[in-house]
Structure formats: C-alpha cells, structure tokens
Amino acid sequence: MKNKISDNNIKSSRALYLYRKLMMGEVIFPEKEAERSGVVKRTVLRDIEGINDFLRSMEANGEHNGKIVFDRALKGYKLVPEENDLLSRGETLAVCKILMESRAFRKDDMSAVINKLLKNCVSAPNKKLLSELISNEFYYYIEPMHKKHFTETLWDIGTAVNENKVMDIVYERPGGIISEVRILPVGIMFSGYYFYLTAFIDGTDKERSMNASDDISPVIYRIDRIKDHKILNRTFIAPYNDSFEEGEFRKRIQFAHGGKLRKIKFLYKGDDIESVLDRLPAAEIQERKANGFVIAAEVFGSGIDMWIKSQGDMIMML
C-alpha cells in the first residue's frame, strides 16, 4: 500500500511539474523529461495526455485554458491558448503603443512588460511583425527621470486599497524633504507619466501629515517617491463613504492634486466637447449656447485650475 501511495505521489509531482512548465510557455521535450525523471518516454506522453484530459474537463466547466499540441518545428509539446483568449494583432499593438507613450517605467521594466505581452498574449505568427512595428519606437524610448523600480510597491498599495488597510509611508517631497505619515489608501491612478496613490490622512495621526487639515479631503502621493511603506494590521472605513460611492469619488480625482471637493462652472467655447467630458468624468452639460457649452463639474483640489489655464480663451469661468 505504501509503495502504491508513493508511486501516485511521484506521478502527481511529475505531472504538476510538466503542467507548470506548460503554463509558463515552455516546451516539453519527452525524451529530455523522461531522462530527468528516470522514466521511459511513453510515461511522459501519458502524463501529457493526462494534463490534456484535465484541460478538456476544465473547458467543459467553462474555463478555457487551451490545449497541448505537438510542435513539429520544435519537436516538442506546448500549450496553445484558445484563440479567443489571445489579444488580437490590433489590440496588442494598441496596448504596446499606449504603454510606451505613457513612459511610466524604466526602459528595462518596459522591455520586460512588452516582451511578456508579445510572448503570452498574441499568436505566434504575429509576434515577429509586432516586434518589428514597435522596435524603432522602443529604441528611442525615454524612461522617467526618477529611474526607479516600483511595481512591487504598486502591488502592495493595491492590496492595501483592496483590503482597506491602514499604511505608514515614508515620502520624499521635491527638494528632498522626507515626511512620515499614516494614511488610509483608497485608490491608485495614473496621470502624466506617474502612478499616484490617493489617500486620506488617518484621523488619529494628522499631526504627522505634511498636508494636515480639518476637512476630509484626499492627499495625492507619487508612488515612485514613496521610499518605504508598511501595511498595518488595521482596517478603516473610507471617510467619503457617507457622501458618494468610490466610483463617483474616482471621477473627481483627475489632476493628481489633493484638496477640498469643489464645484465649478465654466463656458467651453471650443468644438471638441467630447474631450472635455472625457477629461472630467463627473462633468455635465447644463446648457448649450450660441457661443459654446455651459459645463458644471465637481473636482478635488487645484489641479483643475492649471488645466483650465492651458485651454486659453476656449474656457471662461462663470
């Protein structure tokens, strides 16, 4: 009985090892795997067929993970995703272009992200052409001046936001000023080359804040400037929950500037009203006049003032 259990464990471990390699996009060479595991080639082929049976059963339950096929050119077995689960050529090109235009990451980090997209999200015949389409633009890619790796910090913050966990952060402001603050993280956003953390100051710790005030208003932190962080084992209820939902809150944080909630009204004299409504998701057209549109909006902070100035004579505050 013990030998039978042991054999089953060995078989399961071998199959799990093959499954993991396939899910990571690696090719399985039966002869090589047989030699590594100390079994005959036929045993490895049975393992592969067993994994394929598992994938088919998952598909019957509505999960499409693809199927294992033999690649004659490579002389090995690989996992081929369902075509519908892959990005189309146009979708992949669009995502790569958006990523590079964002200039959000260091060049080495951007290279890693794009290579993973091409490897895992598009069919093999299109990979070479897509690589050629973006190669020149990537060659001239300009990385952000901060030159920092921050994706792990980004993930930690996302986890804290999702679980409503209080955080302590060490933050470096322009000029090298270091501040320590306890915050209630409520969202992550991207704007103008940088990722930002939107947070409220913990009411029990406002004296440690660099932007403390009596009103309930969000503070914005550039994530690449967070030098250290700690997620506390304490949850919170976001201060804005009683006034409007999180989705509505996010519509009003558009300019990476914290501050009080403001109500504004202006006359837009331009032709592209869609661009204004896209820029201000919480805005609405109150009236259409002969010389433009009367727009009312709610926003947090003073970032809106800089945007309005950038529009020149096309916007007149009311």
Q: Domain check: are 35 and 71 in the same one?
A: yes
Q: Domain check: are 97 and 126 in the same one?
A: yes
3-state secondary structure the chain: CHHHHHHHHHHHHHHHHHHHHHHCCCCECHHHHHHHHCCCHHHHHHHHHHHHHHHHHHHHCCCCCCEEEEECCCCEEEEECCHHHCCCHHHHHHHHHHHHHHCCCCHHHHHHHHHHHHHHCCCHHHHHHHHHHHHHHHHCCCCCCCCCCCHHHHHHHHHHHHHCEEEEEEEEECCCEEEEEEEEEEEEEEECCEEEEEEEECCCCHHHCCCCCCCCCCEEEEHHHEEEEEEEEEECCCHHHHCCCHHHHHHCCCCCCCCCEEEEEEEECCCCHHHHHHHCCCCEEEEEECCEEEEEEEEECCHHHHHHHHCHHHEEEC
Q: Domain check: are 157 and 205 in the same one?
A: yes
The residue among 208, 243, 278 that closes a domain is 243
Q: Domain check: are 177 and 195 in the same one?
A: yes
The residue among 243, 276, 303 that closes a domain is 243
**Residue 177 falls inside a structural domain:** yes
Return the pLDDT at 249. 65
Q: Domain check: are 218 and 266 in the same one?
A: no
Q: Domain check: are 125 and 201 in the same one?
A: no
Return the pLDDT at 211. 43
**Residue 144 falls inside a structural domain:** no
Q: Domain check: are 237 and 290 in the same one?
A: no
- Each residue's pLDDT, cut to its tens digit, for the chain (318 residues) gives 445 445 566 777 888 888 888 877 788 898 888 888 888 888 888 888 888 888 888 776 666 667 788 888 888 888 876 655 667 788 888 999 999 999 999 999 999 999 888 877 776 677 888 888 888 888 889 898 899 999 999 999 999 999 999 999 999 988 888 999 999 998 888 888 889 998 888 875 444 443 444 456 778 899 999 999 999 999 988 766 555 555 666 666 666 666 677 888 988 888 888 888 888 887 888 888 888 889 988 887 777 888 888 888 888 888
pLDDT digits (tens, 9 = 90+) for 8-33: 667 778 888 888 888 777 888 988 88
Q: Domain check: are 8 and 61 in the same one?
A: yes
Q: Domain check: are 166 and 235 in the same one?
A: yes
- For residue 28, give its domain range: 2-83
Return the pLDDT at 167. 95
**Residue 286 falls inside a structural domain:** yes
Q: Domain check: are 96 and 155 in the same one?
A: no
Q: Domain check: are 78 and 31 in the same one?
A: yes
**Residue 130 falls inside a structural domain:** yes
**Residue 201 falls inside a structural domain:** yes
**Residue 172 falls inside a structural domain:** yes
pTM above 0.75, yes or no: no
Return the pLDDT at 189. 85
Domain count, the chain: 4
**Residue 168 falls inside a structural domain:** yes
Q: Domain check: are 35 and 16 in the same one?
A: yes
Return the pLDDT at 5. 45
**Residue 197 falls inside a structural domain:** yes
The residue among 117, 139, 161 that closes a domain is 139
Nearest CA to 54 out of 8, 25, 12 is that of 12
